[in-house]
Chains A and B, each alone.
Chain A
Amino acid sequence: MRDAYIVTSIRTPGCKRGKGAFKDTLPEDLLAFILDAAVRQTPGLEKKDVEDIMIGCAFPEAEQGLNIGRICAQIAGFPDSTSGATVNRFCSSGLEAIALSALRIMAGWSDVVIGGGVESMTFVPMGGNMPRPHPVYTREHADLYASMGITAENVARRYDISRQAQDEFACHSQMKAAGAREKGRFTEIVPTPATSYVIQPDGTMKRETFVQDFDDGIRPETTIEALSKLRPVFAANGSVTAGNSSQTTDGAAATVLMSKDKVEELGLEPVARLRLYTTVGVKADEMGVGPRYAIPRLLDMAGLTIDDIGLWEINEAFASQALYCIRELGLEKYMDRINVNGGAIALGHPLGCTGAKLCATLLANMRAKGVKYGVESMCIGGGMGAAALFELCE
């Protein structure tokens, strides 16, 4: 098999659902912009060189429907010959799309593919616009459709993750993110045009554009004490709060992958190779445990141990599940390698975009720190885990 090289990996800022900077920006606009930016940021690459665009999206319907991968290829000005697809594996959709893109190259079927992800949770809410759990199956097995909050409560309760530990973890995530933003460490962010509707003197509204260049969910002022006062939102006497859960967010991300031949033809310096990707199923009602099973499988395949991994991006769907996975994987000694710029509790979890977004963040950090191996992993609604291994190019 050939190697799949990542030459560019970027993202839009992540902005709060419903009230953040992208509340009036269509998901198509976020995605088309980041696809265009990915080509612009890859010297020598022309749009016509891109054979396919694979886009992760957790709720591919309404504005995100009709195969947003193809729609946005067109909106972004790719030629008709560039095809597009939508990829859905819920919370790892973006990573799945990058992995599929890599496989195309590794199999020798393509030379340039863009993998990415998009989710506007403002426009298409969690669960989608028309949720339709199966009427007969749910009579006995409604746990398949368990709300994410309930799964987080289940993990906290079954595996003794205390409220205090969750709040401390959440606060730490916020502090890391605030520090990273202040120090300009989010180099993977591309300032992105955002839409706003502005009232005119005659009372009508007009669509206008401004540029958003930072993640707007970060709360530098938060404290453990403030977090400890929040009420549990998902269960009576629960421990999972809005403060120790990931934020619902709008965003898009894109990664350009190439074969070695194409890298050399364009004279590019690739960032990393996507070495391995794996997924695993777990119980639906505790889907948050996913990384605890996906990561060992990934490391086994790679013949590596946790000690070999210099940086981790483990998606913080909830503090409870992130803490559980970290504890069970024996990663507590490497807390300084995990989510170094903060995680989804501070930066948001735009579902189908997250896999692509974390890839961009991980690669930026690997490059900045010269780390050889980086792992990205997340839990997945419905009961799964995913993990990918990236290796920095020397």
Chain B
Amino acid sequence: MTRRIRQAAVIGAGVMGGGIAALLASAGIKTLLLDIVPPDLEDEEKNDPRARNRIVRAGFDAMRSANPALLMHPSDADLITIGNLEDDFDRLSGCDWIVEVVVENLKVKQELLKKIEPVRKKDAVVSTNTSGIPLKSMSAELGSDFRQHFLGTHFFNPVRYMKLLEIIPGEDTLSEVLDFMADFGERILGKGIVWAKDTPNFVGNRVGVQGIVKAMQLMEKHGLTIAEVDAIFGPAMGRPKTAMFKTADLVGLDVLAHVAANTYDLVPDDEARDDFVLPDFFKRMLEKKLLGKKTKAGFYKTEITPDWKKIRKVIDPVTLEYVEYEKPTFPCLEAARKASGLAERIRTIVYGDDRGARFAWEAVASNLIYAANRIGEIADTIVDIDNAMKWGFNFELGPFETWDAIGVRRSVERMEKEGMAVPEAVKNMLAGGAEQFYKLEGGRRYFYDFASKFYQPVQVSETVVSLSGLKADGKTVQSCPSASLVDLGDGVFCCEFHTKMNALNAEIIDFMAQAVEYVDSNGAGLVIGNQAGGMPGAFSAGADLKFIRKLVDQGRFDEIDAFVRRAQAGVQAARYASFPVVAAPYGLTLGGGCEVCLGADRIVAHAELYMGLVEIGVGLLPAGGGCTNLWKKFIGSLPAAVTGIDLAKFFIPAFMNIAMAKVSMSAADARANGFLGPVDRIVFNRDYLIGEAKKEVLRMVDAGYAPPVKRPIPVFGEAGQGMINAELYNMVQAGFVTEHDAFLARRIAYVLSGGQVRPNTRVDEETILTLERQAFIDFLKEEKTIARIDHMLETGKPLRN
């Protein structure tokens, strides 16, 4: 039997159910979304299908209008069919995977599963998205075939954006089913799989909530304020910007309280059970319905003054009144600011000697100890716990990686000195001479396995490539401070950027030219990709503006011209190289980063792709072949038999992409906007991206790659300029754009339409490249463009002048 998910069903159309349905549909899976018939129907509504689907319809609509979007593209909703649990229940028999996401109530879930049992088709997988109810209690009454196909699939909210998927095997679940679902979750849905045991709240929430509640308790002990805690447990410590309490506001205080209480009740033997007891002020907040974002007031509250100014306030845990606050700091945070790298930052903070540092140390130490004590109980390996915290809570480092960062031996010594109970397993590890939880060897990552007391390789799919691992293994063939060329094996090389936000500078431009030459002599093909961290991360946020701004200041326009020429030549050299070049963008792929991708033979993109030519925001235009190659993407797939077409239909959307600095909200959206073409691919799992790009290169080589032939391309000519001039007049009159916007956009239209030529003329690519370059230089001579650049450099935000 070949197991595949032809159709899935999601039961329960709440926030999580809607999110799961959206993800499935975005991945191209037909999905049935069901919820209950409203219990309060009027008599005349009882036979009205619309009324009977009211609840599921409301969930479906909320999912479609969610912000940030849950669907990768609005049209993905077409793959979702809605229905109710009475009229449409039999349709579950056509589903290969049924996931229940109904209310967290054991009895309700038991009854639902019992009803599913006779309906489900043979071999269909059934899973629960419960966050806390033990699976064994849910499936106890069910038959063995059902139990063999039953497991926990615990997604995190918001489903599209949170990478974590905890898979919880039931006692009887077939390993074939578990493997299939893990592969499906990882490869098709793009999630990171954590193997969790059937224990209360599984892995992420168990360890995460201990950390949060314990920190609240310690906050009171050390007399810190909420804002002070957040200043420490934010980006300084490798935690998300929302830190601890803003995250709690997002999650909802009621949800947090529910998880904490649930854990407390179900783990009577937990050595740190008291760490789940919420402080009094938290309980008083619950009573006052200060639940966080959903009630517009939680630990924080934003007030708006009559003149529309925002005032951010934080709650005083003693009085429960909201007060204004400044961003607090501590000497340890000031010192951490100067530290290089996250590990040193964390060390600086936890080993500092001020009030904040002592709090940070105690909070971190208690969470590390708690996590280590859970190995074997909630998960088998430290890798699962680290991944759960990274993927489910957006920590940059999991507990054991954090422990490595602060030094295992050093920290254990301090823990013991301060009377903390260090887990035996950790003591044993140190005693056995293992100083770290993780090590890199031969490009592979190993973790210390508590069970075998040996290092074991971190298991990852064969497609997962780790550039840092390869580099540690000496696979770098060329390198400069801004970029490296890494041997991916099989003759495929990866050109990796590693500047801040992977911004493109002169060094990268020159390096790429070298890389192309190197691969031409030594390789089969090239991947342009990197693995900078972060959510969503940045493939490349564009060109290094500082560099260009400096040249303008010095009046060295000739040098700028030469730089742009080199950039264009580099893109063209890659485009027409004798080997395939595949770009592997993810996350922010803006300006020059986008141009690099547009110039490649193919794009293999991560599903979370925020791609756009945003140069107009700093008063410029894409001049690294971006106008040329976007236009080619638009008209490149027309059959030769199609002639004399109205290029306006292509020109307007291509122009709008550039003139409105449109940024895609996903790879699917980038495809809809014309940035991705028919041969470009979308990969859901970011860890697979480089590996999939490599496969693409090899497939192209295998298929007998021949470089594209450079031919003149048809342009819209002056007709396009007239259209745009007229429309810009309207936009300026309407106050929708500024005069400088219009000035820039008119010139962009001029470039994109091929300059002074009649409509449908074929021009050489170099013609448009020349127009790009000339416009770029002219724009840099405009005061208002310089003001835009300076504003962006100072504030990170675009200026509309």
Contact = CB atoms under 8 A, between A and B. Distances in A.
Interface of A: 129-139, 142-143, 145-147, 149-150, 153-154, 234-238, 285
| Chain B CB within 10 A, most for which of A129, A130, A133, A135 | A135
Contacts of A130: 646, 648
Contacts of A137: 722
Complex A-B, nearest 5 residue pairs according to Cβ-Cβ distance, in ascending order? A142-B729, A138-B725, A235-B734, A135-B718, A145-B726
A138 B728 CA distance: 10
B718 A138 contact: no
Interface string B700-736: 0000000000000000001101110110111001111
B722 A147 contact: no
B730 A138 contact: no
B723 A236 contact: no
Contact of B733 (A132, A139, A154): A154
A133 B726 contact: yes
Nearest to B732: A142
Given A130-B646, A132-B722, A236 B729 contact: no
Given A130-B648, A236-B736, A146 B729 contact: yes
Nearest to B746: A139
Contacts of B729: 138, 142-143, 145-146, 150
B733 A235 contact: yes
B731 to A, nearest CB: 9
A135 to B, nearest CB: 4
Given A146-B733, A153-B733, 7 more contacts: A136-B718, A137-B722, A138-B722, A235-B735, A235-B736, A236-B735, A238-B734
A135 B719 contact: yes
A139 B725 contact: yes
Given A236-B735, A237-B735, A135 B730 contact: no
Interface string B640-681: 000000101000000000000000000000000000000000
A131 B723 contact: yes
Nearest to B720: A135
Contacts of A236: 734-736
A285 B726 CA distance: 12
B295 to A, nearest CB: 28
Contacts of A146: 729-730, 733
A242 to B, nearest CB: 15
A132 B733 CA distance: 20
A235 B718 CA distance: 27
Nearest to B730: A147
A214 to B, nearest CB: 29
Given A130-B646, A130-B648, A142-B728, A150 B733 contact: yes
Contacts of A147: 730
A153 B732 CA distance: 13
Nearest to B742: A142
Given A142-B728, A145-B726, A135 B733 contact: no
B644 to A, nearest CB: 12
Given A130-B646, A146-B729, A135 B734 contact: no
Nearest to A132: B719
Contacts of B723: 131-133
B755 to A, nearest CB: 11
16 contacts: A130-B648, A131-B726, A133-B722, A133-B726, A135-B719, A135-B721, A136-B718, A136-B722, A138-B721, A138-B722, A139-B746, A147-B730, A149-B730, A149-B734, A234-B734, A235-B734
Nearest to B756: A135
Interface string B311-328: 000000000000000000
A342 B718 CA distance: 43
A145 B734 CA distance: 14
A133 to B, nearest CB: 4
Contact of B725 (A129, A135, A235, A237): A135
B364 to A, nearest CB: 51
A1 B167 CA distance: 94
B137 to A, nearest CB: 49
B514 to A, nearest CB: 42
A227 B400 CA distance: 62
A292 to B, nearest CB: 21
B728 A150 contact: no
Contacts of B728: 142
A236 B731 CA distance: 10
A134 B729 CA distance: 13
Taking each of B718, B719, B726, B730, which has the highest tally of chain A beta carbons within 10 Å of its own beta carbon?
B726
Contacts of A149: 730, 734
B655 to A, nearest CB: 14
A134 B725 CA distance: 9
A137 B648 CA distance: 19
A214 B734 CA distance: 35
A287 to B, nearest CB: 13
A134 B723 CA distance: 8
A150 B734 contact: yes
Contacts of B722: 132-138
B179 to A, nearest CB: 42
A245 B646 CA distance: 31
A154 B648 CA distance: 28
A184 to B, nearest CB: 36
Greatest chain A CB density within 10 A among B722, B736, B746 is at: B722
A154 to B, nearest CB: 7
B732 to A, nearest CB: 9
B240 to A, nearest CB: 36
Interface string B98-133: 000000000000000000000000000000000000
A129 B723 CA distance: 12
B656 to A, nearest CB: 16
A177 B736 CA distance: 34
A150 B735 contact: no
A302 to B, nearest CB: 37
Contacts of B733: 146, 150, 153-154, 235, 285
Interface string B517-530: 00000000000000
A220 B734 CA distance: 31
B721 A150 contact: no
A131 B651 CA distance: 13
A201 B723 CA distance: 45
Given A150-B733, A235-B733, A142 B648 contact: no
Contacts of B646: 129-130
A148 to B, nearest CB: 10
Nearest to A142: B729
Nearest to B736: A236
Best-buried of A147, A149, A285 by chain B (most CB within 10 Å): A147
A165 to B, nearest CB: 21
A181 B129 CA distance: 59
A357 B182 CA distance: 68
Nearest to B753: A135
B390 to A, nearest CB: 44
Contacts of B736: 235-236
A324 B719 CA distance: 36
A143 to B, nearest CB: 6
Contacts of B725: 133, 135, 138-139, 142
Contacts of A132: 719, 722-723
A220 B337 CA distance: 67
Contacts of A143: 729
Nearest to A130: B646
A340 to B, nearest CB: 34
Contacts of B648: 130-131
A150 B734 CA distance: 7
Contacts of A285: 733
A285 to B, nearest CB: 8
Nearest to A234: B734
A5 to B, nearest CB: 43
Contact of B734 (A136, A138, A142, A153): A153
A134 B721 CA distance: 8
* Chain A CB within 10 A, most for which of B648, B729, B736: B729
A158 to B, nearest CB: 12
